[in-house]
Chains A and B, each alone.
Chain A
Amino acid sequence: MSALTTTRPEIGAAAKSPRSTRRQRSLHARGSARWVLGIPLILFLALLVAYPIGNGVISSLQNHTLLNPNPTWTGFSNYVRILTDSNFWDALSFTVVYTVLVTSIELVLGFLLALVFDRPFPGRRFLLSALILPIMIAPALMGIMFRLLLSQNIGVIPALLQALGINISLLSASTVIPLLVVLDVVQWTSFTFLLFHAALQGVPAELEEAAQLDRASRARFVFSILIPLLAPTIFITGFLRAIDAFRAFDTINVLTAGGPGTTTTTLSIYVYKILSSGDFGLASAASVVIAIIVLPIIPFVIRRITDGATS
């Protein structure tokens, strides 16, 4: 964090300094540049952010479907349909359970791994590189790989289980949720690890030496010093993971398409199913509802993420 807080004086303060005339002149010259350089971003915001949001909200208030290209206003009836749809509530509860499970497991595992990697051991550099690779694999392709691995016909894992006398389908209703959680953990623990690892490297070595002098055990050191010290990092990492898990789509859609039945339908898959059925107005309404669920927590996270880059 400290590396990014530069010593640059605020522009307003600089204007009052003895060098104010030069500063002001250069500021004036930069006045137009500021906007010229910002043009691509402004276009982006207008065309790919503001316009789609407006379009989405409008279509959520209309009976816009594949067969009805000239929609009329229907007020909030799409929203009523979403909020009275039991599938929506099922999807919401599955998504929340899934989010809480994967986020907590990944935080704990990532932190433990980071602690291990905080001390030198043979092969550390190599393992560190290997641990980052799961992030680089497309989640959808990860889903396909596990589809191969778990297939009843050709997969290694069902065959191994059968050899051990266990005859269950891992994609059946009772085992599929733990399976998806494991998959997410396999892919994204790397992410929490990476952030914790970076944060641990910023902890001065003197702290641990002092703790050792006081004869504090390693566990005591971790719980009483490291965890409180890294609380902001843990908090933001957890939020980032939770927000991503909350919109989980790729792996699950490839692997189970939300099934069996609707057991693994996340909110994103729920919207996707409505969209595929051609009911655009209803899909818009559902996506607006999901955005509204997430919106309240965004300001908390944002301030912490952007602090380093703006202050």
Chain B
Amino acid sequence: MNAVYTSIKTDAAIGISPFSLQGGFNFDHYSNVLGGSSGFNFPGYLLNSVQLSLGTVILVMVIAVPAGYSIVRLGFGGRWVLQLITSLRLVPAMFFAVPFFLIFSALGIYDTVVGLILADTFMQLPLALLIICGTLRDIPMEVEEAAAIDGAGTYRSLVFIVLPLLASGLVAVGIIVFVFAWSDYLMAVILSASGAVPVTVGAAFFVTSAGIQWGNLAAVTVVSVIAPLAFAVFAQRYLVRGLSAGAIK
């Protein structure tokens, strides 16, 4: 709320007192940061955030959907695969961020969106896989057995029978992964410097050595928070179910 309020005031009013409204309200700070005249490439940060969040959602799905099916229905790896992956969520992320930094630097994907997508996929996969496995267990086996009797192979049955039944669960997973990837700060601050900076890290750039651009900082924060929040409000039904199912069984 305070951020919204600060962001629409003039710099002069911000300078006088938190309650001053000198100069009235305007949207200059928004046009500054979105138009790129703030000295920082905020539109670029926003684009990076969108790209890395979408990329993470896609990569997580590509890994977790077939793996979840294989674990739940085909007994892939027994219990330990899921336990191993889940435990990744519990290890301090810093433990992986340091080697990621070294490896990505060596591979030349440091400070690229691709590198951040890989790191964020690592961060989000455990919860995604857990939710997908939980949802798969709730789908009755009989449908697939019927499909098998009708001659559908494993892959056919996965694509045409299981995926449609799994759809609403996947929407929940997609939204959760998107929002959390958008929120990531730790990986971004370590694995990006300028080219791939997302909003969570970029916003802090507005605290410059020449002082803090309060109005712009507030505008940046508002824009960065609203995107995933709007998403979350629309998709709330899925979110609550996904979050509570994923965290606890």
Binding site for B on A (CB under 8 A): 1, 3-4, 6, 8, 11, 26, 29-30, 33-41, 44-45, 48-49, 51-53, 55-56, 59, 64, 129, 132-133, 135-141, 144-145, 147-149, 151, 153-156, 159, 191, 194-195, 197-199, 233, 236-237, 240, 243, 246-247, 249-250, 253-254, 267-268, 271-272, 275, 280, 283-284, 287-288, 290-291, 294-295, 298-299, 301-310
**A249 to B184 alpha-carbon distance, docked (Å):** 11
- On whether A137 and B229 interact (CB within 8 A), knowing A148-B3, A240-B247, A247-B93, the answer reads yes
CB of B32 within 8 A of chain A?
A: no
- On whether A280 and B95 interact (CB within 8 A), knowing A37-B69, A38-B70, A138-B228, the answer reads no
CB–CB A49/B103 < 8 A:
no
- Which of B18, B118, B130, B154 is A154 in contact with, Cβ under 8 Å? B18
CB–CB B236/A148 < 8 A:
no
CB–CB A291/B95 < 8 A:
yes
* Nearest CB of chain B from residue A301's CB, rounded to whole Å: 6
**A271 to B207 alpha-carbon distance, docked (Å):** 23
**A1 to B134 alpha-carbon distance, docked (Å):** 10
* Nearest CB of chain B from residue A284's CB, rounded to whole Å: 5
- Which of B74, B95, B207, B214 is A37 in contact with, Cβ under 8 Å? B74
CB–CB A290/B92 < 8 A:
yes
Contacts of A11 in B (CB 8 A): 75
- Which of B70, B88, B118, B233 is A129 in contact with, Cβ under 8 Å? B233
Q: Which residue of A lies closest to B183 (CB)?
A: A138
- On whether A247 and B94 interact (CB within 8 A), knowing A33-B154, A195-B244, A310-B82, the answer reads yes
CB of B166 within 8 A of chain A?
A: no
**A198 to B244 alpha-carbon distance, docked (Å):** 7
**A280 to B204 alpha-carbon distance, docked (Å):** 24
Contacts of A305 in B (CB 8 A): 86, 130, 247-249
Mostly helix, strand, loop or mixed at chain B's interface?
Answer: helix
Contacts of A26 in B (CB 8 A): 148
Chain B window 175-219, contacts with chain A (Cβ cutoff 8 Å), 1 for yes, 0 for no: 000010011111001100000000111011001000010100110
* Nearest CB of chain B from residue A271's CB, rounded to whole Å: 5
CB of B10 within 8 A of chain A?
A: no
**A299 to B118 alpha-carbon distance, docked (Å):** 26
* Nearest CB of chain A from residue B170's CB, rounded to whole Å: 16
**A139 to B224 alpha-carbon distance, docked (Å):** 12
Q: Which residue of B lies closest to A284 (CB)?
A: B98
CB–CB A41/B90 < 8 A:
no
**A299 to B203 alpha-carbon distance, docked (Å):** 38
CB–CB B182/A138 < 8 A:
yes
CB of B36 within 8 A of chain A?
A: no
CB–CB B96/A52 < 8 A:
yes
- On whether A287 and B185 interact (CB within 8 A), knowing A44-B63, A154-B214, A307-B249, the answer reads no
**A139 to B225 alpha-carbon distance, docked (Å):** 10
- Which of A139, A237, A294 is B248 in contact with, Cβ under 8 Å? A237
CB of B76 within 8 A of chain A?
A: yes
CB–CB A6/B92 < 8 A:
no
CB of B46 within 8 A of chain A?
A: no
CB–CB A310/B79 < 8 A:
yes
**A195 to B201 alpha-carbon distance, docked (Å):** 30
* Nearest CB of chain B from residue A150's CB, rounded to whole Å: 10
Chain B window 146-187, contacts with chain A (Cβ cutoff 8 Å), 1 for yes, 0 for no: 001000011100100000000000000000000100111110
- Which of B81, B82, B200 is A138 in contact with, Cβ under 8 Å? B200
- Which of B75, B90, B95, B186 is A56 in contact with, Cβ under 8 Å? B95
* Nearest CB of chain A from residue B166's CB, rounded to whole Å: 14
Other A-B contacts than A284-B99, A305-B247, 13 sampled, CB-CB below 8 A, are A33-B155, A38-B77, A40-B63, A48-B122, A136-B183, A136-B228, A136-B232, A149-B2, A153-B15, A197-B244, A243-B90, A284-B102, A290-B94
CB–CB A33/B185 < 8 A:
no
* Nearest CB of chain B from residue A304's CB, rounded to whole Å: 8
